[in-house]
Structure 1
Amino acid sequence: MIDSILCNDIHSRLNPVRVSQVHFPKSTAEVAALIRDAASRGLQVSICGGRHAMGGQQFGEATVLLDCSGLKSLGGIDRERGIVEVGAGLMWPELIHGLHATQEGHSMVWTIRQKQTGADDLTLGGALASNIHGRGLRMKPFINDIEAFTLVNAAGEVLRCSRQENEELFRLAIGGYGCFGVVTSVALRLTHRIKVERIVEVTTLDRAPAEMGTRIAGGALYGDFQFAIDECSPDFLHRGVLSTYRSVEGDREMEEVRTLGADQWKELIRLAHTDRTRAFETYAKHYLGTDGSLYWSDTHQLAVYLCDYHEDLDCCLGTSTGTEMITELYVPRHTLTTFMMAAAEDLRPRGVPVIYGTIRWIRRDDESFLAWAREDYVCVIFNLHVEHDLREPAIAAFRSLIDLALSLGGTYFLTYHRWARRDQVERAYPQFREFLAAKERHDPDGRFQ
């Protein structure tokens, strides 16, 4: 246990909160005991894992913080059903490599279906709490990958939640941001590990949706469209790198793949802050050079994330403190071009740099209570630069993007910034009042904050 410590998220550094204590439980029984102890002392509890969430949901002022990254169990694989029980604190590389190790010698290997992109040291519990998604082109959000989970509720009781048992909590807790208890383990649905081929082209937004539709119909499993980010260029939010991954024969020989190392990523990040056209051209050239390369369906989803990259960048550039904040907007697929054209027009004059952006395809979630994928959407991700001493321009940009998505029948992801207006929250999530009522019913003392 650590007493009174300042916590913050890893990426944006925009959520500094001082908690009263930090505990690092390693078992469900320990989590339950800590919650019962907090309840006996009238203390509130907050929950974190990889500490990447940027919406403020993982830390609460003066709370008892449970850092669940120590819940690292990995059970045996049900090879008939393709299900494995994993600790909620297990991170994606640990899970993938653990699955490989336990199946050594098997010709058919079970592995993950999807994970978040951009960073790897994210916990399974956090993925469940946010109901994440990856680059799957025909996949629903993470709830579809979950068979069941173990939850410790506000009374310190241990519950098993599934589609058959404690079904309401199953729907509420997945995408419920820790409001209903601490998830300590997850029964995860797996898929077969296969070889995939990357197909890459540089194209434009007016062609990308139709081309992606053709590739999906042709069997593409993963993919996205990473767009140009220079607001001074006519290519802004219009030209991009379209990449997809399709399954190939298992006996095809895999050659060493060209990858970007840490130093190359540092240079790309520097260019994204100083010469965004060159950043895109450099990235596009690299990706085009990997066209036709073969990957494994699980490890191709892993990424390089440079912790504290902005400290080195600010020192190099001699700039004031700043970081990036992410937003995800979801719009009906037929409105994508309209949305992107309007977003480009809105962002150009604001002076808020787009450091990274991509478009993904997502299937409808018909299970979680606070579903963000109410229909088959396209997901547009913006990573915007935020000056810590002058946040208002970025806040206005984020709110404007949400308004634009809402005007087209879309929504946005609650996981990231906390700057949405109340009317935006209620319009994007008309069931939000019911969600809060369910929170009060299951946690009347507001134990989880």
Structure 2
Amino acid sequence: MYKFVNRPKSVCLILGLVFLKIILLGCGKPPRPNPPLAANKIRINDVSQLNPTDVSQITNATQVRDLQRAIRLAKDKGLKVSVAGKRHSQGGHAFYDDAIVLNMEDFDQILDFQPETKTIRVQSGVTWAQIQDYINPFGLAVKTMQSTNIFTIGGSLSSNIHGRDLHATTIIDTVRSFRLLTVEGKILTCSRDQNTDLFHLVIGGFGLFGVILDIELDLTENRVYQKSAILMDYTQFPSYFEQQFKGSSGVDLLIARPSISLGKQFMKETVVTIWQRTGQKMTRDLLKLRGEENVGRDRFLLNLSRKYKWSKRLRWYLQKKLVSKPGRTEIISRNNAMAPPTAPYELLVRKSPKNTDIVQEYFIPKSHFVDFMDGSRKIMLDNSVNLLNVTIRYCAGNREAFLSHTRKDSFSIMFYTSQNLSSSGLIKAEKMTLQLVDLALKYKGTYYLTYQLFPTQSQIRQAYPLLDEFFNLKRQYDSQELLMNQFYRKYAVNNN
């Protein structure tokens, strides 16, 4: 079948006909019906489509006074307030029933930039892409961000996101300070020296302690890297990682992708991609920020792999031979490496009434990586999970965030799956999740709170022993529980 790879017209024609069939015939069981929309309400959801919620109002804030006015209105009407960015959290973290939702996407000004000290201060609705566009001409780059640049900085802070940099693995490592609008209408500066309790609570606090107004971030040099890849068995990855991380190899960025192709290499054969310092001077061509490339191709192949096992084999073949071919090198700037054009996540988001894509992530101590991979592979196969992608990154132990997901050095294993939206499909997804969480806990790991609300009250407290103290502190800072979301309702309110 791989002969077709060298015949692009034939591939496009054949795959096009298959894709047309998918569109015309549809697939899967009917979706779980949503309740009728209440009068004078607005229905909102996150990217997972699992959390349809009817809210009273969406405030598109551009000024601080817009936020203050909305908070006063909520108090006057006895409503709750939620804070939203791109809404890529998948557990209703950005909204609540009948609440006023503060949409921060237009709160997006760059307030201050200091190239000499490599710092920037931005409003919380600014995206990583905006920062990259702004700082790139000055030879600077972002330190820590997700694997694509579409997300807001405020949302990234609220989730304490992590990235591929081996030396600054979570965003809290790069935050100097931020300003917070409290439920009393006060504006506080939070840092490691001022309002320190709030600094640790708000980062990874999912908008429950106040509205993040702006953030001061550390930046780094926009270095020239050599990108290369190596193919290995997953059991070799921990020792390979130690060699790259502890040696003087100059590797700054790293990500690994195990095979999604069902068969003897499923979740075993792994492509590890590294970006290594070269010491080369930046050229005009290297400095130029790339646009998103191959969007149509990637979206097309991803859609096919939701339905066909052979397409998963094809995607894995292309991953090894085209995207990250072992033995081939590429010279690339850090800014381009951190916004990979082969991962146009925003355009891969689907709006299907029958199925959706969900993400789950687990943080496993390095010594138990192989054990977890073996156990999770069995769970995927036993539950016939439609697995679309697996990535592995490194997260250094960091206890600064109150609800830190990486209190010890860990490997982050992220599963990207296609999920049927029928009632039976959601039951299946919940079963899979509970098994994966139990597996992570068995090996002294945790799971990422940013995703679905399937884990039980017992599981979340075993993974996050400080959770109830976190909720108690939330009630101290917000005694009326004005700031609310679905995550808090499930694990704090419904647990009483």
Same fold judged by TM-score > 0.5? yes
1:91 and 2:131 matched:
no
Who is 2:63 aligned against? 27
Tell me if the contact between 2:292 and 2:344 (Cα under 8 Å) persists in the aligned partners: no
The residue type equivalent to 1:299 in the other structure is: N
Partner of 2:4: none
Q: Which sits farther off after the overlay, 346-355 or 370-379?
A: 346-355
Give the aligned partner of residue 327 of structure 1.
Answer: 360
Q: Which residue in 1 is equivalent to 2:470?
A: 435
Does the 8 A contact of 1:135 with 1:360 survive in 2?
A: yes
How far off is 1:391 after superposition? 0.9
Query: 2:87 matched to which residue of 1?
Result: 51
- 1:174-194 C-alpha deviation (Å, 9 max, x unpaired): 000000011010011111111
Quick check: 1:235 aligned with 2:265? yes
Regions of 4+ moved over 6 Å: 255-259
TM-score for the superposition, normalised by structure 2:
0.83
Deviation at 1:408, TM superposition (A): 0.5
Cα RMSD (Å)? 1.9
C-alpha contact 1:50 1:122 (8 A) present in aligned 2 = yes
Structure 1's unaligned 5+ residue stretches are 315-319
What is aligned with 2:330? Answer: 293
Give the structure 1 partner of residue 143 of structure 2.
Answer: 113
In structure 2, do the counterparts of structure 1 residues 258 and 444 end up closer, same or farther at CA, with 3 Å as the change threshold?
closer
Q: Are the equivalent residues in 2 in contact too, given 1:140–1:364 (CA < 8 A)?
A: no
Is the aligned partner of 1:166 residue 2:199? Answer: no
Query: Could you tell me the percent identity over the aligned residues?
Result: 25
The aligned residue for residue 179 of structure 1 is 208
Q: Which residue of 2 aligns with 1:6?
A: 43
Q: Secondary structure at the match of 1:94?
A: helix
Separation in 1 of the partners of 2:228 and 2:83?
A: 40
Match of 1:235, SS state, is: coil
CA contact (8 A) 1:4 1:18 kept: yes
* Residue in 1 that maps onto 2:180: 151
| Larger mean Cα displacement after TM superposition, 300-309 or 236-245 | 300-309
CA distance in 1, matches of 2:319, 2:333: 22
Number of matched pairs: 431
The code of the aligned residue for 2:165 comes to: G
1:414 aligns with 2:449: yes
> Displacement of 1:306 after TM fit?
4.5
Give matches, 1:128-143, under 5 Å. 128-143=157-172
Q: Counterpart of 2:86 in 1: which secondary structure?
A: coil
Please report how far the alpha carbon of residue 410 of structure 1 lies from its aligned counterpart in structure 2 after TM superposition: 0.5
CA distance in 1, matches of 2:370, 2:198: 38
Give the Å deviation of 1:305. Answer: 2.0
Q: CA deviation at 1:360?
A: 0.5
Is 1:229–1:236's contact at 8 Å kept on the other side of the alignment?
A: yes
Residue number in structure 2 paired with 1:317: none
Are 2:313 and 1:277 aligned?
Answer: yes
Q: Deviations over 1:294-326 (max 9, x none)?
A: 111122211412446534xx6xxxxx7111111
Q: CA deviation at 1:224?
A: 1.1
Q: What secondary structure, in the 3-state scheme, does the structure 1 residue paired with 2:235 have? A: coil
Name the stretch that deviates more: 368-377 or 67-76: 67-76
Report the Cα distance in structure 2 between the residues aligned to 1:341 and 1:82, rounded to whole angstroms. Answer: 43
**Secondary structure, aligned partner of 1:278:** helix
Aligned match of 2:412 in 375, 379, 384?
379
Counterpart AA for 2:303: R
CA distance in 2, matches of 1:281, 1:321: 28
AA of the residue aligned to 2:91: G
The 3-state SS of whatever aligns with 1:361 is strand
Q: Which residue of 2 aligns with 1:362?
A: 395
Conserved? CA contact 1:271–1:278, under 8 Å: no
1:264, distance to aligned residue in structure 2 (A): 1.3
AA matched with 1:195? V
State how far apart, in whole Å, the 1-side matches of 2:348 and 2:362 are: 26
How far did residue 51 of structure 1 move? 1.5
Structure 2 counterpart of 1:310: 350
Whole-Å Cα distance in 2 between the matches of residues 97 and 201 of structure 1? 31
Is 2:235 aligned against 1:206?
yes
Distance 1:13 1:281 in 2: 31
Query: Equivalent residue for 1:77?
Result: 113
Amino acid across the alignment from 2:256? F
Does 2:384 match 1:351? Answer: yes
List per-residue Cα deviations over 1:159-186 (Å, max 9, x = no partner).
Answer: 1111111110000000000000110100
> Offset at 1:258?
12
CA–CA distance in structure 1, aligned partners of residues 118 and 365 of structure 2 = 33
Q: Distance in 2 between matches of 1:293 and 1:95?
A: 24
* One-letter identity of the residue aligned with 2:253: Y
Match of 1:423 in 2: 458
Q: 1:447 to 1:258 in 2, by over 3 A?
A: closer
Higher deviation after alignment, 346-355 or 403-412: 346-355
For 1:69, what is the secondary structure of its paired residue? coil
The runs of 5 or more residues in structure 2 that have no matched partner are 1-39, 485-496
Task: Please give the alpha-carbon distance, in whole angstroms, between the structure 2 residues aligned to 1:293 and 1:44.
Answer: 51
Code of the residue aligned with 2:228 in structure 1: it is: I
Q: TM-score by structure 1 length?
A: 0.92
Say yes or no: does 1:223 pair with 2:254: yes
Matched AA of 1:263: G
Distance between the aligned counterparts of 2:91 and 2:116, measured in 1?
A: 39
For 1:139 and 1:8, the matched residues in 2 are separated by: 32
The alpha-carbon distance between structure 1 residues 308 and 140, as it changes in their structure 2 partners (threshold 3 A), is closer
The alignment status of 1:396 with 2:431, answered yes or no, reads yes
Letter in 1 for 2:350: H
Given that 2:273 and 2:324 are in contact with CA atoms closer than 8 Å, whether structure 1 keeps it comes out as no
Amino acid at match of 1:411: T
**Whole-angstrom CA distance in 2 between matches of 1:179 and 1:258:** 36
Letter paired with 2:94: Q
Q: Answer yes or no: is the 8 Å Cα contact 1:350–1:393 preserved in 2.
A: yes
The alpha-carbon deviation at position 260 of structure 1 amounts to 4.9
Mapped to 2, the partners of 1:131 and 1:227 lie a distance apart of 25
Secondary structure of the structure 2 residue equivalent to 1:206: helix
Q: Distance in 1 between matches of 2:404 and 2:92?
A: 19
Aligned residue for 2:370? 337
SS in 2 for 1:251: coil
Q: Is the 8 A contact 1:205 1:240 kept in 2?
A: yes
CA distance in 2, matches of 1:377, 1:18: 38
Deviates further, 75-84 or 203-212:
75-84
